[in-house]
Structure 1
Amino acid sequence: MTGNRSALEAVGVDGFDEAVYRALLAGRDASPADLADRLGERTDRVRRALDRLRGLGLVSRLSGRRLRYTAAAPETALEALVRGQTARLQEVRTVAAELDSVFHSVSRADDAGAIDLLSGTEELGRWFVRLQHQVREEMLVLDRPPYALAATNPVEPASLARGVRWRAIYAPEALEQRGALAEIEQLAERGENARVLPGLRIKLAIADRRLALMPLGFDPDNMRPVLIRESTLLDALIDLFEHYWTRALPLSGSGAENPSIDPDLLALLLSGFKDDAIARQLGLSTRTMRRRMRRLMDELSADNRFQAGVQAAHRNWV
């Protein structure tokens, strides 16, 4: 099977990668070694295939120390790829429908009613990927740990490239993840509008103001995620996001009227980060960071962080 021509070549999936994807669909989630045993292939070759499939948004890496992957819903994931293609469109859609039937044969998602209770962390991660594939105009996100998937998000750049407006509010704890600030800066360059809000108490993703996904708790073993369709509850969650948005501090564009101001340092300073955490995010020694912070405080004529926030707001730097 791995040597055959793939019907998904038009969207960048060769025969071997399709075989890996099919094997993962049949088992819901698996490690590279598990899939290698099923296919009779080398583990390193399967791992490379999973990396390619992840880049296309077809699979996601689950959180945790052990390397495990789960498949995205085929119909929506492949449709997102098909929209950028013109050749062999009907052939790809036929395969997407076939793979989707395999996915739903092991899925327990119920589409009836305004609120669906999903089955756990894996389904939470799978639905978050699916929302990103389905969104057409706007995505609203409240982001904080813990994460169902790996912290990096390979699907969002593709959504931004399609012209999706993306607003994200991050808890300071999310920015303390290794490499998080650098990734957010890259996403900002692609169009994400990011802010930070201390004390963020929920995780939430809303696609096109029509469908929301959120966990009811933060215990990785008992997150109890729910899917919320158009309803007064969804309207209330949208209002809550907008309320948080007005209170949150921009993570990019701060200090635009004063080019000597470091916007990332200002944002982290006013978001309640400790000195060591700010230094770690900016890739500086604590001593160098404190020297820059002292210059910033002097520029603002502030003796403490509260005064710095008042002065920065007064000068329209935030």
Structure 2
Amino acid sequence: MDAPADSPWSGAGLDPLTGHVLEHLVTVPSADADEVAAAVGVSTAEAARALRDLADASLALRTDAAAPRWAAGPPRTSLSALLARRRAELARTEGLVERLHEMYETVSGPRSAHLVELLEREDEVSARYAQLLKGCATEVLHLAKPPYVTSFGAAAEASGVADGVRMRSVYETEGFSDEVSLATAVRGTGQGGELRLAPRLPVKLVVFDRTAALLPVRGDRPSAGSLVVHSPALVEALADLFESVWRDAEPMSLSSRTDALPPACGHHGTPLTDTGATGSPDPRTREILHLMAAGMKDDTIARVLKVSRRTVQKHVSDAGTRLGARTRFQIALLAAERGWLGESQGLGDAVVGR
């Protein structure tokens, strides 16, 4: 008789139909199964089943043995008794959970085992990641750098983040052309996640609600296994590490991959920019210069924006001509000074690989 979690009757253990039947019964002195079926729009058999469930829960009374009719009991009294029974059941379940946890700690070895888990197989890592992600209620902090594990990305795609969970990711610039990282980033930003790029990341890391963290045993070999950290002090230190990287990373958006920007090229692939040496460039050129200043190479920019490498080079070359710059460093620096890169800060530092 359990109800779906989104049913208003789930706390009382009633399914939606049974709750609907009870709602009808309290509005009439009594009713038989046919009358209830007509009122709630179900078959007589379904109505009879719901009436029996209400009787079993002491929420309805059978008033006539010869021609069965049913009447609701006083809701406050009958439902209070039902809820009291449910609370007692939950208390017994909580006690069982505590006993099981005590047994788990005893069998698992040293007391430190509950502070750090060692996951040795790739399938264990993917399954544990999906479980931790699904259990998140507030935020996910993510540092992503190569090499990537394909099954890990698949687990992320299958799980996703719940509504209301804030996801912030920092990707290492050099590895951002990888198909797994790009697909994961596009999916994350599509779910409302925030994305930044950094020239170099200290470690691969995911922090879940600041209560658990996942990181590889060996950064250069993800297949060697991962650690799940539960120690509050260690998790907080890892969250602080993320925040430090996040502050210095370069914000970016992948919204242009959904064709949000207007067409950027003319009939022959020539970049379209505003006329005049000091005018602002078109949105596509801004996007390309922004990614270039963040340290991305032409191939990576082309893949992120779904354009050709030649298109990227034409935009960069055109910007260089207008700015009177000969190198990518000069282009990024002068573009930042002209305000062509929007609200981005610290672009000169990003170019030199801080």
How do 1:34-183 and structure 2 match up within 5 A?
82=5, 112-144=113-145, 145-147=147-149, 149=151, 151-152=153-154, 153-155=156-158, 157-159=160-162, 162-178=163-179, 181=182
Deviation, 1:204, is: 0.6
Separation in structure 2 between the aligned mates of residue 124 and residue 214 of structure 1, nearest angstrom = 10
Residues 122, 148 of structure 1: 8 Å contact kept: no
Q: Which has the higher contact order (CA 8 A, sep 6+)?
A: 1
Separation in structure 1 between the aligned mates of residue 150 and residue 187 of structure 2, nearest angstrom = 22
Separation in structure 1 between the aligned mates of residue 250 and residue 149 of structure 2, nearest angstrom = 22
Separation in structure 2 between the aligned mates of residue 215 and residue 290 of structure 1, nearest angstrom = 37
Which residue of structure 2 aligns with residue 279 of structure 1? 302
Which residue of structure 2 aligns with residue 22 of structure 1? none
Separation in structure 2 between the aligned mates of residue 312 and residue 155 of structure 1, nearest angstrom = 40
Deviation, 1:198, is: 1.9
Which residue of structure 2 aligns with residue 265 of structure 1? 288
Q: Which runs of no fewer than 5 residues in structure 2 stay unpaired? A: 16-92, 94-99, 256-260, 262-279, 345-354
Q: Which amino acid is 1:279 matched to?
A: A
The SS at the match of 1:272 is coil
Which residue of structure 2 aligns with residue 222 of structure 1? 224
Deviation, 1:9, is: 11
Separation in structure 2 between the aligned mates of residue 86 and residue 173 of structure 1, nearest angstrom = 50
Gap change, CA 1:117 and 1:157, over 3 Å in 2? closer
The SS at the match of 2:333 is helix
Residues 125, 152 of structure 2: 8 Å contact kept: no
Residues 195, 248 of structure 1: 8 Å contact kept: yes
Separation in structure 1 between the aligned mates of residue 183 and residue 288 of structure 2, nearest angstrom = 13
Deviation, 1:229, is: 1.8
1:208 aligns with 2:209: yes
Deviation, 1:242, is: 1.1
Q: Which amino acid is 1:191 matched to?
A: G
The TM-score with structure 1 as length reference comes to 0.57
Residues 168, 195 of structure 1: 8 Å contact kept: yes
The SS at the match of 2:224 is coil
Separation in structure 1 between the aligned mates of residue 331 and residue 172 of structure 2, nearest angstrom = 20
Q: Which amino acid is 2:121 matched to?
A: G
The SS at the match of 2:199 is coil
1:295 aligns with 2:318: yes
The TM-score with structure 2 as length reference comes to 0.52
Gap change, CA 1:227 and 1:8, over 3 Å in 2? farther
The SS at the match of 2:240 is helix
Gap change, CA 1:269 and 1:118, over 3 Å in 2? same
Separation in structure 2 between the aligned mates of residue 199 and residue 288 of structure 1, nearest angstrom = 27
Residues 265, 278 of structure 1: 8 Å contact kept: yes
Separation in structure 2 between the aligned mates of residue 259 and residue 309 of structure 1, nearest angstrom = 13
The SS at the match of 1:154 is helix
Gap change, CA 1:165 and 1:273, over 3 Å in 2? same
CA RMSD of aligned residues (A): 4.1
How do 1:297-316 and structure 2 match up within 5 A?
297-298=320-321, 302-314=325-337, 315=339, 316=342
Separation in structure 1 between the aligned mates of residue 2 and residue 287 of structure 2, nearest angstrom = 42
Separation in structure 2 between the aligned mates of residue 91 and residue 129 of structure 1, nearest angstrom = 31
Which residue of structure 2 aligns with residue 19 of structure 1? none
Separation in structure 1 between the aligned mates of residue 305 and residue 205 of structure 2, nearest angstrom = 27
Q: Any idea what the Cα deviations from partners look like across 1:139-169, whole Å, max 9, x if unmatched?
A: 100112322525353256442xx21111000
Separation in structure 2 between the aligned mates of residue 230 and residue 148 of structure 1, nearest angstrom = 28
1:247 aligns with 2:255: no
Q: Any idea what the Cα deviations from partners look like across 1:248-268, whole Å, max 9, x if unmatched?
A: 1112289x9x68233542343
Larger radius of gyration between Structure 1 and Structure 2: 2
Q: Which runs of no fewer than 5 residues in structure 1 stay unpaired? A: 1-6, 11-81
Paired positions, count: 227
Separation in structure 2 between the aligned mates of residue 175 and residue 165 of structure 1, nearest angstrom = 21
Gap change, CA 1:184 and 1:117, over 3 Å in 2? closer
The SS at the match of 1:237 is helix
Residues 169, 196 of structure 1: 8 Å contact kept: yes
Q: What is the percent sequence identity of the aligned residues?
A: 28
